[in-house]
Amino acid sequence: MSGYRIGGQQEKHLSSSISPLAGKPATSAPLVDVARLLAAYRDLVPDPAVPEQRVAFGTSGHRGSSFDRSFNEAHVWAIVQAICEYRKNDGVDGPLFVGIDTHALSEPAFESTLEVLAANGVGTLISKGGEFTPTPAVSHAILRYNSGREHGRADGIVITPSHNPPESGGIKYNPPHGGPADTDATSWIAARANALIEGGLREVKRVTIDVARRADTTREHDFLQEYVADLEHALDLDAIRGASVHMAVDPLGGAGVHYWAAIVERYRLDLTVVSDTVDPTFSFMSLDWDGRIRMDPSSSYAMQRLIGLKDGFDVAFACDTDHDRHGVVTRSAGLMPANHYLATAAEYLFRHRRGWRSDAAVGKTVVSTALIDRIAKRLGRPLLEVPVGFKWFVPGLYDGSLGFGCEESAGASFLAKDGSAWSTDKDGIVAALLAGEMTAKLGRDPGEIYKGITHDLGEPASARIDAAATHAQKAKLSKLTPEQVTSKTLAGEPVIQVQNRAPANNQPIGGIKVISANGWFAARPSGTEDIYKVYGESFKGRDHLDRILEEAQAMVDAALAGS
């Protein structure tokens, strides 16, 4: 195996190979043909007999590309009609908030969404002046509207494929709790949407976009000003301003591109917005590990522009296209690996949020660092370990029993300072600005704070490997069982546990996790892309991690043999 670097750490890859274009300007490779992409959205019709062209909700919504007939007009019409029927059956009769990011396919998908919502008579709130809308702004708006209401509750749709490549499109549903819909909801919506497509869309109610925009049911909502005005309830912005923390943000041409200037103006922060360019080709990016464009703020390959800010600011940060993920650069550590920053955030928040419940838990997914387990134990806080997917954190963030929930892929959210719900979906904006609060309150940047934590609790060496996988391979990997793991040792240590279900809720993790006293690995297919992921971690150093990864490779290769 050869190595590559993420955030200053030596990382290993298994079956994947790093493109020679990784880290180079996006213009080093062909950019997406936006006109052709938009034409394909309108002109190409999915074949429901082809599995890859059916509606399928991954960890957060349905995603695909119009080129592949996996995200086309028919998909959106059918999904939104299914959502209209689902919310009616569920007794949701308040307004529906609609958010949109800056991917090229998001605008036509937004129009398709409005066409169906208006035809179904659903009260719809869209962003004032056509402003883009981050995922957390939609979640926060739902929670704010529903506070104290027993009837007429609101829900939402967010049109985004998150950090996925420019040719991608996506749509997800957030029920009245404000977070991602659970599996029961998404399974029903997907099944109904596929039935509608199979029926030639005859049962889909729809009007023209001009009629939809003029409909009495379509109204504007100022997501930006509402979110920005409330931000002081989630963060100590006075401390950041008082300490004159010198910060920079790269919005990556995403949905929060204009939110940052509004935050600076309202709270008078020393925050430089690196760029407010919006470009559907995302040509300002650097290429990710496989030579493709991804707006992934946790990838050192994709974040070359952000990493270049290391020595010019106390902290710098970026958010992905819908601003539900974050990446943080510090003077001391450069681009912090997601697990490092998440562990640091957990330690800080539970020591500085006096308004939270004393029994509020620390939440993490099964593939997040075990350092968080050690932090929770030291804090005397319960640990909530769930499968990948932010939906599992929603109940706790909603009722205040979970203070902080995080995913290894740089997604997190936490309670407002008084312990109330802030956003039950991932919020990259507050997670990024928290870096400034930490620096202001502790006089050390998050990289330095992390070093102090690992001095006390041990420093993990970790890796995440992404490799291409077919649908068949992903299906096989997701169905692995503990009985298929025959080895009794992992890198020389006895295997303590083999999991295919999460400890907190006994839900399937969609793969397998093998644990020893000082290390673990997990293998699972991606819920959003045609790749699989292998995660590994060791508290005994890099050599021990290498051995863990070698054994993980053998297991994954054996599982996928013959696919």
Distance between CA atoms of 293 and 299, rounded to whole angstroms? Answer: 11
Query: What contacts 48, CB < 8 A, 6 or more positions away?
Result: 54, 194, 197, 198
Handedness of CA 55, 397, 135, 154 (dihedral sign): positive
Cα–Cα distance list, 51 to 87, 206, 472, 510, 514 (Å): 26, 26, 10, 19, 31
Query: What contacts 147, CB < 8 A, 6 or more positions away?
Result: none
Among 2, 57, 59, which residue's Cα sits nearest to residue 393? 59
Distance between CA atoms of 71 and 53, rounded to whole angstroms? Answer: 8
Query: What contacts 224, CB < 8 A, 6 or more positions away?
Result: 127, 128, 131, 137, 258, 259, 262
Active site residue 19: no
Catalytic residue, from 112, 127, 162, 538: name it. Answer: 162
Distance between CA atoms of 36 and 40, rounded to whole angstroms? Answer: 6
Give Cα 56 distance to the centre of its chain.
17
Exposed / middle / buried, residue 270 (Cβ in 10 Å: 0-12, 13-18, 19+): middle
Distance between CA atoms of 412 and 406, rounded to whole angstroms? Answer: 4
Tokens 């195996």 correspond to what residue?
A: 1
DSSP assignment of 114-141 equals HHHHHHTT--EEEEGGG----HHHHHHH
| Alpha helices per DSSP H over 383-533 | 394-399, 428-442, 446-457, 471-478
Distance between CA atoms of 338 and 163, rounded to whole angstroms? Answer: 15
- Token pair belonging to 127: 């962003």
User: CA 225, 226, 227: angle at the middle one, nearest 5?
Assistant: 95
Distance between CA atoms of 30 and 363, rounded to whole angstroms? Answer: 40
- Token pair belonging to 103: 């991917």
Distance between CA atoms of 330 and 339, rounded to whole angstroms? Answer: 15
Cβ(350)–Cβ(356) under 8 Å? Answer: yes
Distance between CA atoms of 98 and 103, rounded to whole angstroms? Answer: 15
- Token pair belonging to 230: 């409330």
Tokens 């992905």 correspond to what residue?
A: 320
Exposed / middle / buried, residue 488 (Cβ in 10 Å: 0-12, 13-18, 19+): exposed
Catalytic annotation, residues: 162
